[in-house]
A and B are shown apart, each in its own frame.
Chain A
Amino acid sequence: MAYLIEAKQLCRYYGKYRAVNDVSFSLAKGEILGFLGPNGAGKTTTMQMLSGNLAPSSGQIKINGFDLLDQPLMAKKSLGYLPDTPPLYKDLSVKEFLNYCAQLHGVAKNNMTQCINHSMERCGLTDVSQRLIDNLSKGYQQRVGIAQAILHNPDVIILDEPTVGLDPIQIKEIRTLIRELGQEHGVILSTHHLSEVQESCTHVQIIHQGQLVLNESIEGLNHSLNTGSLLVSTRLMPDTEVLLTIPGVNSVEPITDNKFIIHYCVSEDPCQQITETIITKGWGLQELSPIKKSLEDIFISLTHTSDS
């Protein structure tokens, strides 16, 4: 299978500091790759290298079969990139700006109006097309950034934190848009929201201190997220020893005397048994709610497993 992006052993140094260390991956058509990582993990650096804004210190990047260093113009033809700060000329109107971008990407003249209108429609910009970018809200500016990246219908779309600064409804729209784009293109997006990856991506990569700690499909990620947590509060103080004997319960972490978190194994699903135990023991169950996994939890579990 021909890959849209092939990155091999990418390294990037800033002086002596190694921001990205030996990252290799590939992206095929129809895949949406989510790039997850905490601040400073090397997400943006990797994206800048993929988009040709930074040269890797070592390693090779091929886009659509063209080497980004040897044939940069051919490689960049199939590239749409939204950096972490949207690159906007604020003294232009949305339409003028997109027109300039279309020219820069060599969109054919007779195709230009159609391309611009199509991408404005997709990003919900039709109503503001005549307004100055400077006067638009941050969310709209972000959308102009996305419109600019998908304008010339590139094979590879790289989006660096595309949903930052958007309201929940817009986020939902953009996620739908990304899923749509993923059907005909290859999309890479970076984020630090786990839910975003779970909702819109087909593949996930987690980068930590410049290194890939996970490179999996979404099913694989869900599998590796085998542990869940429950927040439980009771009227009387429970006996943690009893709770630990329930099969599937890994640990009990007390917060206050009668509030605690139970970590359990999802595949064995001990929730019902926990509830029954608390009720039969007469501790007085007051609250029982699942805790959503945060990115940090996954990191902790991933880095722990890779350490051990």
Chain B
Amino acid sequence: MNMINTIAIHEFKSLFLSPLAWTVLAILQAILAYIFLTQVETFNLIQPKLATIEGAPGLTDIVVIPLFSNAAIILLLVTPLLTMRLICEDRRNKTLSLLMSAPISSADIIIGKYLGSLGLLLILVVLITLMPLSLLVGCELDMGKLFSNLLALMLLVTAFTSTGLFMSTIAGHPTVAAMGTFGVLLLLWILDWTTSMNDQRSELLEYLSILRHFQNLQSGQLNTADISYFLLFTMTFLFLGIGSLNKDRL
């Protein structure tokens, strides 16, 4: 546990030593702020019409859900870039042998690195959540729905990060790792698109799709199946990562 902490803290700090973390935080914040403001503006425009409709979508539906959906897609692009260097760069710079010859297990290395990079992404998620919270100054929000959106995005980044980490343990070059992560995530994201076109529904594809589970959570249904999907997803890739790091020695 101690070792996991040590590695996680080192990983987290070293992200901020390069301009990468700062750039990602700044650019994402700027883009999402723009999206947020557009949504608020939209709400302002259609508010008079909404007032006349019974059971019309509220502020939370119009501002929070699109904001978090867009954030999810942007994170799909950004996470591979943040995770691509995790093990890959260690291997290329030969610093992996420092960890391998220290009294640390592969699981400690993987989980430590995972938590370190997850830290940055969680900061990002918190910063995104601060935007709708600022609306509390003048209006009311559906806090339950906001919470489920926050949870959905957090679970999403835990899954994204684990995929990125696994890819960086198997790839020889960081760009390959980034490309691989992006490919896998995008494929899982669009997996159930075909099912909506046909009359037949494929249960399996629907279950595997990240988007489906993410949207379920976003709508405010806290479903054990969706939450456990993300947790299983994360653990699978972490185990694969540990296995592939062990295989390095063979």
Binding site for B on A (CB under 8 A): 48, 51-55, 72-74, 76-77, 79, 81, 83, 85-92, 100-101, 103-106, 148
Nearest A residue to B96 via CB reads A87
Contact A104 B250 (CB under 8 A): no
Bound state CA distance, A87 and B104, in angstroms? 16
Contact B18 A79 (CB under 8 A): no
Contact A83 B18 (CB under 8 A): no
Contact B104 A55 (CB under 8 A): no
Q: Which residues of A contact B96 (CB under 8 A)?
A: 87
CB pairs A–B below 8 angstroms (28 shown): A51-B97, A52-B101, A52-B249, A53-B100, A54-B249, A73-B105, A76-B102, A76-B104, A77-B103, A79-B101, A81-B101, A83-B97, A85-B94, A86-B94, A87-B97, A88-B93, A89-B14, A89-B95, A91-B17, A92-B17, A104-B7, A104-B98, A104-B99, A104-B102, A104-B104, A106-B3, A106-B103, A148-B98
Contact A87 B102 (CB under 8 A): no
Q: Which residues of B contact A101 (CB under 8 A)?
A: 98, 102
Q: Is B201 an interface residue (CB 8 A)?
A: no
Bound state CA distance, A79 and B250, in angstroms? 20
Contact A55 B249 (CB under 8 A): yes
The 10 closest A-B pairs by CB, nearest first: A87-B98, A81-B101, A76-B103, A104-B102, A85-B94, A87-B95, A51-B101, A103-B6, A55-B249, A73-B103
Partner of A53, one of B3, B10, B14, B249: B249
- Min Cβ gap A296→B in Å is 28
- Min Cβ gap B104→A in Å is 6
A interface SS class: loop
If A88-B95, A91-B14, A101-B98 touch, does A55 touch B105 (CB 8 Å cutoff)? no
Contact A105 B95 (CB under 8 A): no
Q: Which residues of A contact B103 (CB under 8 A)?
A: 72-74, 76-77, 105-106
- Min Cβ gap B118→A in Å is 20
Q: Which residues of A contact B6 (CB under 8 A)?
A: 100, 103-104
Bound state CA distance, A101 and B10, in angstroms? 11
Bound state CA distance, A176 and B226, in angstroms? 63
Bound state CA distance, A240 and B91, in angstroms? 58
Bound state CA distance, A3 and B192, in angstroms? 61
Scoring B residues 89 to 125 as 1 if CB is less than 8 Å from chain A, else 0, what string do you get?
0000111111111111100000000000000000000
If A73-B105, A104-B104 touch, does A81 touch B249 (CB 8 Å cutoff)? no
Bound state CA distance, A79 and B98, in angstroms? 11
